[in-house]
Amino acid sequence: MNQKVVVVGAVALGPKVACRLKRLDPEAEVTLIDKDRYISYGGCGIPYYVGGDVTELEGLYSTSAHVPRDAKYFENVKGVRVKIRTEAISIDRKGKAIRIRDLETGMEEDLPYDKLVLATGARPVIPPIPGTKLPGVFVVSSLHDAKAIKDRISRGLVENAVVIGGGAIGLEMAEALTDLWGIETTLVEMMDQLVPTAFGRDMALVMKNQMEGKGVRVLLRERVMEILGNETDGIRAIVTDQREIPCDLVVLAVGVKPYTDLAGDAGLAVGRSGGILVDQRMRTSDPDIFAGGDCVEILHLVSGEYIPMPLGSLANRQGRVIGTNLAGGHERFAGTVGTFCVKIFDLTVARAGLTEKQALETGFDAVHATVVQADRAHFYPTMKLMYVKLIADRRTRRVLGIEAAGWQGDAVKARVDAVAVMLPLKADVNDISNLEVAYAPPFASAMDIVNNAANSLDNIISGRHETIDVIDFLERFKSGRKRVLDVRSPVQAGPFVEKYPDRWLNINQEELSARLDEVPGDEPLFLVCGSGPRSYESQLLLRQKGINAQTLNIQGGIGMILMSDPEFAPEGYK
């Protein structure tokens, strides 16, 4: 008897399961059902469709050979039966059947299964405020939303937009609206930073500056209370706890929640963070029912907690595991470290593991190093600066997370990926110091930035290098307490000395050992150079000479200061 497999949900994980299973077990009778008529599309591509990088909606649901991945495609090419516009209503686990409803005709039927796969995805969170259903308010969760947003814009109906939510999708949507369409866009985020679940405050500040530099207004610590408008004319403004912002379009991007109604109603175990519980084989509490993708919780391989991680990349990998297991295989999906990247206009940020805050909350004795360095040999003409933050546990030296930003996106991804894959293996700081990443001058320094980030972290953990974070520095410097000793050349430091008289000292590192008598004796000083290494060496020299034991070196130096606060720079300084 051929096994009957029903897959509920036909985006990302669902199709992957179905196709993999059919390749391994061509006799399996596989049915893929979905409420929508669009299936197997690249939902992550929606911002690029809205922003014009992808010109046709079809681009998001076609194969690389330009064949639309529609029901006919799955039936002819993959041998998978597809029911679109079909809702799964309930699961009869004892009878091993799933009740489905044709959304066009309203007809219901029971579909028997030997194995069932839940790929029900996640639903966008709708904030509990008035006005979210008004015309002009959109979520970003299906191609219908994508089409509706783009149609509205291209009909010239949008001059001002508000994106609610400063997560990755909010950033991508804000870029899409601003970049192609020149819409005046405001992004409102309730928390005190962008993407708080994935980046530290410093990297978030870098992102905020990039957004603002490109014309997006970013409002943090601001809560949206209401969306104003009416059914006929649509929306006209949003009201926050601080102001009213006129707008013609609102994008809600405040996160997603696993869609688990079907699973919950059937009595399948749902975890604390709201996702369906699955084992490493991706089986739910019912061994005949598998689940994966945005509707499940998976193990975070650094924190040890079970969490939803709604990423298309994970869904695809899990889909293959489920497909193999349905065909009698024994594959496992161990968990996640939450690796991902986002393009924000010209800037790319990427990350994996835990943020320093998350690491502290998890109970680690978290410490970080932030390093600014050329993303290729510093003498290579296309060189740009790159920013890497590496987080580790002080006691065990285990590396817990990495965050990076830079102007050549693939290069940023390269650094994060190389460290990300080491996180589940409990790599320590020394492992990353010697991480054997590829070198040639057009692509890296001989000592790559990831190696140097680990080297810096080693120095910090060993107590050799006493540092201050750029954000703490900016706060403390602005509150007027300490002075800065800048060890760059007078040409580089001069404009800062001029802008901050009495607050900014300059002794070139090359002359420091000869001019030790000019260093203020026992005054706590911030040390700075272009990116950190020279001021670190200066700190060592001062300590050795017993001149000043109270210095703190600013991590990432002027490079990180100016990425975090462009206003800090003297006028005309580049």
Kindly state whether residue 334 participates in binding a second copy, applying the rule CB under 8 A: yes
44 catalytic per annotation: yes
One residue of 534, 552, 554, 560 binding a second copy per CB under 8 A: 534
Q: Tokens 């937009």 — which residue?
A: 161
One residue of 243, 313, 478, 515 binding a second copy per CB under 8 A: 313
Residue 226 three-state SS: strand
- Smallest CA-to-CA distance from 227 within 142, 165, 164, 154 is with 164
Give the nearest distance from C-beta 122 to a second copy in angstroms.
15
Q: Using CB under 8 A, which residues numbered 18 to 57 contact a second copy?
A: 23-24, 26, 42, 44-45, 48, 53-54
Q: Which helix (H) or strand (E) holds 420?
A: helix 409-420
DSSP 442-500: TT--SS-HHHHHHHHHHHHHTTS--EE-HHHHHHHHHTT--EEEE-S-HHHHHHHHHHS
Give the nearest distance from C-beta 568 to a second copy in angstroms.
19
HEC secondary structure over 145-170: HHHHHHHHHHCCCCCEEEEECCCHHH
Piece in contact with a second copy (CB under 8 A), picked from 124-132, 187-195, 446-454, 517-525:
446-454
DSSP 374: E
One residue of 283, 300, 320, 397 binding a second copy per CB under 8 A: 320
Piece in contact with a second copy (CB under 8 A), picked from 62-70, 106-114, 225-233, 516-524:
62-70
One residue of 178, 240, 325, 348 binding a second copy per CB under 8 A: 348
Kindly state whether residue 220 participates in binding a second copy, applying the rule CB under 8 A: no
Give the nearest distance from C-beta 300 to a second copy in angstroms.
11
Residue 378 and residue 366 in contact, taking contact as beta carbons nearer than 8 Å: no
Give the nearest distance from C-beta 515 to a second copy in angstroms.
11
Q: Using CB under 8 A, which residues numbered 377 to 416 contact a second copy?
A: 377-381, 408-411, 413-414, 416
DSSP 294-361: GGB-EEBTTT--EE----HHHHHHHHHHHHHHHTT-------B---EEEEETTEEEEEEE--HHHHHH
Residue 59 and residue 10 in contact, taking contact as beta carbons nearer than 8 Å: no
Q: Using CB under 8 A, which residues numbered 164 to 203 contact a second copy?
A: 168
Give the nearest distance from C-beta 520 to a second copy in angstroms.
21
Output the six-digit token pair for 80.
Answer: 């998978």
Nearer to a second copy, 40 or 284 (CB): 40
Nearer to a second copy, 3 or 90 (CB): 3
CA distance 18 to 40: 11
Kindly state whether residue 447 participates in binding a second copy, applying the rule CB under 8 A: yes
CA distance 394 to 55: 49
One residue of 10, 529, 560, 561 binding a second copy per CB under 8 A: 529
Q: Using CB under 8 A, which residues numbered 453 to 472 contact a second copy?
A: 455, 464
One residue of 531, 535, 551, 553 binding a second copy per CB under 8 A: 531
Give the nearest distance from C-beta 440 to a second copy in angstroms.
5
**Cβ neighbours, 10 Å, residue 265:** 11
Nearer to a second copy, 63 or 230 (CB): 63
Give the nearest distance from C-beta 496 to a second copy in angstroms.
15
One residue of 337, 453, 471, 563 binding a second copy per CB under 8 A: 337
One residue of 1, 94, 232, 434 binding a second copy per CB under 8 A: 434
Q: Using CB under 8 A, which residues numbered 83 to 122 contact a second copy?
A: none
Piece in contact with a second copy (CB under 8 A), picked from 109-117, 195-203, 309-317, 519-527:
309-317
Nearer to a second copy, 67 or 269 (CB): 67
Residues in contact with 417: Cβ distance below 8 Å, sequence separation at least 6, in sequence order: 339, 350, 352
Residues in contact with 488: Cβ distance below 8 Å, sequence separation at least 6, in sequence order: 506, 508, 509, 528, 529, 530, 534, 558
One residue of 36, 70, 286, 331 binding a second copy per CB under 8 A: 331
Output the six-digit token pair for 144.
Answer: 């219908």
Residue 55's region, left for phi above 0, alpha for psi from -120 to 50, else beta, is alpha
Output the six-digit token pair for 349.
Answer: 């940020």
Residue 230 three-state SS: strand
Piece in contact with a second copy (CB under 8 A), picked from 107-115, 156-164, 310-318, 561-569:
310-318
- The set of catalytic residues is 44
